[in-house]
Structure formats: C-alpha cells, structure tokens
Amino acid sequence: MATRLPIDIENSIDQGAKRFGKALEILEFPNGGKEAPPSEINALINVSYFLQNLPQPFAIYAEGSCASGRVDAMGFNGRVAFVLEAKTFGTINSQAESAFRDLERMRKFFPEMTQKLSGALRPRDWWREAEERWGIILISSFRGKEVADAWQAEQEDTFIEEMSRYTEETCRPAWDADRKPAGLLKLYKQFSAQNRGAALVTSGERWQDCGQGWFLWGAIPL
C-alpha cells in the first residue's frame, strides 16, 4: 500500500490554489461584498482542472453516490482512485468536526455504480481495480497564515503554539472541556506530516478585511 499521496495530486492542489488566486483578482472576489469565505466549490473546480489535464488524467465525477450518501468528488486515472470532500473555514472547529465526520465515512467508501448495462456488459469495478486509493479532505481557509502554519506543523506542540497566535479566541482552544482534541486538532491528528499540506491562494492584501487564503489538504490511504 502506498504511504504518500501521489505527487501529481499534491501538485494539482498547489496549481489549483494559484489558479483560484488569479481568478479572485480578475473577478474582484465577487462575494456580494460580504465578509464570508468563498464556496468550497471553487477549490473543487480549480483543483479538478489540473487533475484532468495531467499526462495520466483523472476522470472525475462530482456529487457521486456511495453507501453513506454523496461525496463531493471521486476520480480514477487507471491506476490511482480518490474520493474527495471539500470544506470552507468558516467557523474553524465546527467545520473541522464536519470534515472529520466526512473522513470517517471515507474509510468505508465504495462508489455506487450503475449495475444495469446493455447486453452482456458488466460494470467496471474501478475502485477495487485501482493500485492506490485515497481519501482527501480539501479546505478553503481564509483565516490567515496562523491557521495554515498550524496545519503544516510537524509536531502537535507546534500546532498548538501556532493556533495560540490566532486572533479569534473561539477558535484557539486545541482541547475541549473534557480535554479531548477540539475540531481542528482532532482533524490534524488524522494525517501524517507527509500527507498534510497547504497551498497559498492569495495574500488578501488587495481587499480590506481579508485574511490570507489557503487550500489546506490532508489525505489518508484507503
């Protein structure tokens, strides 16, 4: 079993972040003037663009079905298969809790494919056929550099130190009242350092009251 997310997928996330950053500047962050983060669909469409244009391109399906409901995207390139859920910060700890629940669903993921084919044809079992299978969480975070630095920290102590610098006190606590990991730390702990990263979208300096934008990602082998 592979232990590191394929570099082509990681590079596609990095390139997708840059592409989205350029789009924000060209389109002047068309969010209706609201102090709210962009929809997670923007991360999905920009990263998918590069995944679909690789030398070994991914076929991608959005809002696909599985036994536990729907997922934001799934893909296969003949060798590697993935399932992906996208989120936006947002309220950091509550959204991280939601991403954690998505990750738990991914551990049992299997696509619900159409079984009724014409004639003697049988559906391709592409998920089992894949040499590698990955579950990916992709988060659009416009909560600044501190959150991105915390997410990329190699050690838990460094994560806590970085989050302590974050200005919104309700999102600082790494532990809940029962001394269990709070949302973001809980999610952070699910990924090894080599399968967790961040890609800069924008410095945010062009717009008032806009923090740095990042794509935060984490992946687990399935």
**Is 196 part of any domain?**
yes
**Is 119 part of any domain?**
no
The predicted-structure confidence for 70-88, as pLDDT tens digits, reads as follows 999 999 999 999 999 999 9
Question: What confidence score (pLDDT) does residue 65 get?
Answer: 84
What are the distances in angstroms from CA 54 to CA 14, 38, 84? 14, 26, 18
Quote the tokens at residue 30.
């068309």
Model confidence at 219: pLDDT above 90: yes
**Is 116 part of any domain?**
no
**Is 120 part of any domain?**
no
Q: What angle do CA 103, 73, 83 make, to 5 degrees?
A: 45
The predicted-structure confidence for 122-180, as pLDDT tens digits, reads as follows 767 899 999 999 999 999 998 888 889 999 999 988 988 888 776 665 555 555 656 66
Overall number of domains in the chain: 1
**Is 43 part of any domain?**
yes
**Is 121 part of any domain?**
no
Quote the tokens at residue 174.
């790494």
Quote the tokens at residue 25.
């500047």
Is residue 191 very low, low, confident or very high in pLDDT (cuts 50, 70, 90)?
very high
Question: What confidence score (pLDDT) does residue 180 get?
Answer: 67
Q: With a threshold of 0.85, does the pTM exceed it?
A: yes
Q: What is the mean pLDDT of residues 46-50?
A: 98
Query: Within 10 Å of residue 27's Cβ, how many Cβ atoms?
Result: 9
- In sequence order, what are the beta bridge partners of 132? 80
Tokens 């992906």 label which residue? Answer: 84
Model confidence at 27: pLDDT above 60: yes
Model confidence at 33: pLDDT above 70: no
Can you tell me the distance from the alpha carbon of 205 to that of 139, in angstroms, rounded to the nearest whole number? Answer: 21
In this structure, what are the phi and psi dihedrals at residue 74, rounded to the nearest 5 degrees?
-140, 155
**Is 122 part of any domain?**
no
Range of the domain at 53: 7-110+127-221
